[in-house]
C-alpha cells in the first residue's frame, strides 16, 4: 500500500461538514464516534417558545340568511337569463309574430317551478329557523330544527316529484336523469343526511366546533388539527357541491330540456354556466372560509409546525428519538423509524413523515396565500366579463354580462377587503 497521508475527497469532506451542523450543541466536533468508543452525551433541548398570535380586525360577515337570500336571487336571475339566451325572440322586427322579448310559450312551467323550489331550499329553511327561534325555548331549538327539516324535506319532495312527473310527460323518460343527477351526487358525498342539503355549514352535536386553544400538550394539538382538518374538508366539499349544484339547475338544466327545433348559441350558454359555477365558487368560498375561520386554522398551524426530512446518506448524526407527548423546538433533530427529521416552527407537535400534517401547515401558515389565489381568480373573472361586455353587440349578451358583473363586483370587494386585512 503506498505511503503518505490519506485525505478524503472534497465531496465527502463537504458532506461531513454540512452534516455536522445539523445538531447544535457543545458536541458539534465529537458527535461521530469511532467503533468501540463511548456514545457522546446529547445536549439538552431548548424549551420551545409559544407562537404569538396577532388577531385579525373584526370584519363584518353576512349572516347565513342574508347570504343565501343573495345567492337565491343570483341563481334564479341567472336561470332567467339562461332562458333568455335560449328562447329569445326577434320582437323588434317590423313583421314579427310576437311583441315579447322571450317566447314564453316554449318554456316548460313545471321545469321552472322545479328549479325555483330546489334553489329556494336553504332560504325557506333559514326563514323557518328564524321563526322557530322566536317562539321556541333555547333548549328545544335543536329538536325543532330537526323536525322542521324533516317536514320541509317532505313538502319539497312532494312538490318536486309532482313537477318531475309532468316534465316526463312532455319529454323522454331518460330526461329525468338530468334532474336527479345532482341529487345522486349529493347522496354520494353526504350520504342520507339531509342537514347539508339545507344548511350552509352543517354541524352536529357529535362533532367538535372549529375552535383553537393555545395548548402545550402535543397530543391535544394534534387532536385539534385533526378536528380542524376534518371540518375544513367538509366545508370544502360543501363549497364544491353547492357551486356545481347551483350551476347545474340554474344554467345546465334549462339547456337539457330545449325542444329540437329551437336553435341557440351553445357556446354562449355553456359560457354562462361556467360563469355561474365560478361566481358561486368564489362566493361560497368567501362566506364559508371566512377570515375568522382562516385565523383559527392559522393559529393551529403555528402550534403544529412541520418536519423536514434530512438526507443523512453515509453519515448518521446522533439524534433524539421522536416522542409523541413532547413539543419540539425549532431546529431539533429527531429519528422516527429509519429516517431523520428536522423541526420547523416555534413549536412542533406534528408526527414526522405525516403528509397530512405537512399539507395542513403549508396551507395555513400564511392565510394570505389562499386569499391571494382566490383574489386573482375573481379579478380574472371580472376582467374577462368586462372584455366580453365591451365586445358584445347583442342586447341579451349585454344584459346578462351586466348582471354577472354587478354580482362579481360585490364578491371582489369582499375578497379584496379580506386579503388586505390578512
Mean pLDDT on 250-256: 94
**What integer pLDDT is reported at residue 89 of this predicted model?**
83
**What is this structure's pTM?**
0.84
What is the enclosing helix (H) or strand (E) of 348? strand 347-348
The model's confidence at residue 177, banded by pLDDT at 50, 70 and 90, is confident
Least confident of 35-39, 174-178, 236-240, 252-256: 35-39
Mean pLDDT on 88-92: 78
pLDDT exceeds 70 at position 168: yes
Least confident of 42-46, 85-89, 394-398, 399-403: 42-46
Residue of higher predicted confidence among 342 and 253: 253
Give the separation between CA 351 and CA 268, rounded to whole angstroms: 50
Using the Cα atoms of residue 60, residue 66, residue 71 and residue 76 in order, give the sign of their dihedral.
negative
**Domain chopping of the chain, boundaries:** 64-266
Q: 172: exposed, middle or buried (C-beta count within 10 Å: 0-12, 13-18, 19+)?
A: exposed
The model's confidence at residue 46, banded by pLDDT at 50, 70 and 90, is low
Residue of higher predicted confidence among 202 and 197: 197
The model's confidence at residue 45, banded by pLDDT at 50, 70 and 90, is low
What b/e sequence results for 20-55 when a residue is b if at least 16 CB atoms lie within 10 Å of its CB, and e otherwise? Answer: bebbeeebeeebeeeeeeeeeeeeebeebeebeeee
On whether the CB atoms of residues 175 and 168 are closer than 8 A, the answer is yes
Give the separation between CA 90 and CA 103, rounded to whole angstroms: 9
**What integer pLDDT is reported at residue 353 of this predicted model?**
85
**What integer pLDDT is reported at residue 158 of this predicted model?**
96
**What integer pLDDT is reported at residue 402 of this predicted model?**
97
The model's confidence at residue 335, banded by pLDDT at 50, 70 and 90, is confident
Averaging pLDDT over each range in 65-74, 134-143, 259-268, which range is the top one?
65-74
Mean pLDDT (the chain, rounded): 84
Mean pLDDT on 277-292: 95
Residue 14 phi/psi, 5-degree rounding, is: -70, -35
Residue of higher predicted confidence among 106 and 27: 106
The model's confidence at residue 31, banded by pLDDT at 50, 70 and 90, is very low
234 Cα distance to chain centroid: 8
**What integer pLDDT is reported at residue 8 of this predicted model?**
42
pLDDT exceeds 50 at position 230: yes
pLDDT (tens digit, 9 = 90+) per residue, 55-76? 777 788 899 999 999 999 999 9
**What integer pLDDT is reported at residue 67 of this predicted model?**
96
On whether the CB atoms of residues 347 and 305 are closer than 8 A, the answer is yes
Least confident of 37-46, 186-195, 377-386: 37-46
Alpha helices in 24-170 (DSSP H): 64-87, 109-119, 121-135, 141-170
Q: Which three cell numbers stand for residue 149?
A: 327539516
Measured at the CA of 386, the angle between CA 384 and CA 387, to 5 degrees, comes to 65
Amino acid at each position: 500500500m503506498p505511503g503518505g497521508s490519506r485525505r478524503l475527497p472534497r465531496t465527502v469532506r463537504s458532506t461531513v461538514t454540512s452534516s455536522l451542523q445539523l445538531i447544535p450543541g457543545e458536541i458539534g466536533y465529537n458527535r461521530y464516534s469511532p467503533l468501540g468508543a463511548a456514545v457522546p452525551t446529547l445536549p439538552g433541548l431548548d424549551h420551545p417558545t409559544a407562537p404569538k398570535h396577532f388577531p385579525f380586525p373584526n370584519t363584518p360577515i353576512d349572516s347565513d340568511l342574508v347570504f343565501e337570500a343573495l345567492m337565491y336571487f343570483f341563481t334564479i336571475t341567472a336561470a332567467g337569463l339562461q332562458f333568455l339566451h335560449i328562447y329569445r325572440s326577434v320582437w323588434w322586427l317590423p313583421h314579427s309574430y310576437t311583441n315579447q322579448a322571450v317566447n314564453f310559450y316554449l318554456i316548460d312551467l313545471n321545469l321552472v317551478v322545479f328549479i325555483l323550489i330546489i334553489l329556494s331550499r336553504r332560504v325557506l329553511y333559514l326563514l323557518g329557523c328564524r321563526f322557530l327561534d322566536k317562539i321556541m325555548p333555547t333548549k328545544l331549538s335543536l329538536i325543532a330544527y330537526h323536525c322542521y327539516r324533516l317536514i320541509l324535506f317532505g313538502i319539497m319532495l312532494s312538490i318536486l316529484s309532482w313537477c318531475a312527473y309532468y316534465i316526463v310527460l312532455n319529454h323522454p323518460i331518460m330526461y329525468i336523469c338530468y334532474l336527479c343527477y345532482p341529487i345522486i351526487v349529493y347522496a354520494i358525498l353526504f350520504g342520507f343526511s339531509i342537514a347539508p342539503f339545507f344548511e350552509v355549514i352543517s354541524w352536529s352535536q357529535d362533532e367538535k366546533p372549529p375552535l383553537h386553544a393555545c395548548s402545550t400538550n402535543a397530543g391535544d394539538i394534534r387532536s385539534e388539527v385533526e378536528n380542524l382538518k376534518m371540518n375544513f374538508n367538509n366545508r370544502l366539499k360543501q363549497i364544491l357541491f353547492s357551486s356545481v349544484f347551483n350551476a347545474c339547475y340554474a344554467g345546465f338544466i334549462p339547456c337539457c330540456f330545449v325542444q329540437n327545433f329551437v336553435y341557440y348559441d351553445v357556446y354562449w350558454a355553456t359560457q354562462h354556466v361556467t360563469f355561474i359555477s365560478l361566481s358561486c365558487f368564489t362566493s361560497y368560498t368567501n362566506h364559508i372560509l371566512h377570515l375568522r375561520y382562516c385565523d383559527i386554522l392559522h393559529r393551529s398551524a403555528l402550534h403544529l409546525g412541520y418536519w423536514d426530512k434530512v438526507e443523512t446518506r453515509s453519515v448518521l448524526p446522533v439524534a433524539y428519538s421522536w416522542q409523541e407527548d413532547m413539543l419540539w423546538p425549532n431546529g431539533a433533530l429527531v429519528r422516527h423509524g429509519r429516517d431523520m427529521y428536522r423541526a420547523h416552527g416555534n413549536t412542533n407537535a406534528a408526527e414526522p413523515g405525516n403528509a397530512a400534517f405537512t399539507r395542513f401547515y403549508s396551507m395555513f401558515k400564511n392565510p394570505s396565500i389562499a386569499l391571494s389565489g382566490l383574489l386573482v381568480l375573481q379579478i380574472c373573472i371580472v376582467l374577462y366579463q368586462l372584455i366580453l361586455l365591451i365586445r358584445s353587440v347583442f342586447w341579451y349578451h349585454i344584459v346578462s354580462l351586466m348582471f354577472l358583473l354587478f354580482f362579481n363586483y360585490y364578491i371582489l370587494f369582499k375578497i379584496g377587503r379580506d386579503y388586505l386585512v390578512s
